Amino acid sequence: MSELSFTEENYLKAIYYLQQESATQDVSVNEIAERMSTRPATVTDMLRKLSDKKLIHYEKYKKTKLSKTGTGSALQIIRKHRLWEVFLHEKLKFSWDEVHVVAEELEHIRSAQLIERLDEFLGFPRFDPHGDPIPNAAGEIMPASNTTLAESEPGKKLKLVAVKDTSSAFLQHLERFGLHIGIALLVKEQLPFDKSVMVAIGNKEPVMLSEKIAVNLLVIEAGKK
pLDDT in tens, 49-98: 999 999 999 998 899 999 999 999 999 999 999 999 999 999 999 999 99
162-172 pLDDT, tens digit each = 999 999 999 99
Rounded to a whole number of angstroms, the CA Rg of the chain reads 19
Q: What is the CATH number of domain 149-221?
A: 2.30.30.90
| Burial class of 185 by CB neighbour count within 10 A (0 to 12, 13 to 18, 19+) | buried
If you ran DSSP here, which 8-state letter would residue 3 be given? P
Architecture of domain 6-66: Orthogonal Bundle (1.10)
Among 44, 43, 45, 69, which Cα is nearest to 56's?
69
Q: Which residues pair with 158 in a beta bridge?
A: 185, 221
Per-residue DSSP letters for 117-185?
Answer: HHHHHTT--SB-TTSPBPP-TTS--PPPP--BGGGPPTT-EEEEEEES---HHHHHHHHHTT--TT-EE
* 225 has a pLDDT exceeding 70: no
What contacts 24+ positions apart, CB below 8 Å, involve 50-53?
Answer: 50/8, 50/11, 50/12, 53/1, 53/2, 53/4, 53/8
Give me the sign of the Cα torsion angle 5, 7, 9, 15.
Answer: negative
Read off the pLDDT of residues 24-55 as tens digits, 9 standing for 90 and up: 889 999 999 999 999 999 999 999 999 999 99
Q: DSSP readout, 43-103?
A: HHHHHHHHHHTTSEE--TTS-BEE-HHHHHHHHHHHHHHHHHHHHHHHTS---TTTHHHHH
Assign 215 to helix, strand or coil: coil
Q: How far apart are CA 95 and CA 104, in angstroms?
A: 15
**Integer Cα distance of 93 and 179 in angstroms:** 18
Backbone angles phi, psi at 211, to 5 degrees: -60, -40
Domain borders along the chain are 6-66, 149-221
Q: Would you say residue 143 has pLDDT above 90?
A: no
Handedness of CA 138, 139, 143, 149 (dihedral sign): positive
- Predicted local confidence at residue 224, as pLDDT: 67
Q: What are residue 127's DSSP bridge partners?
A: 133
Q: Residue 159 and residue 222: Cα distance in Å, rounded?
A: 5
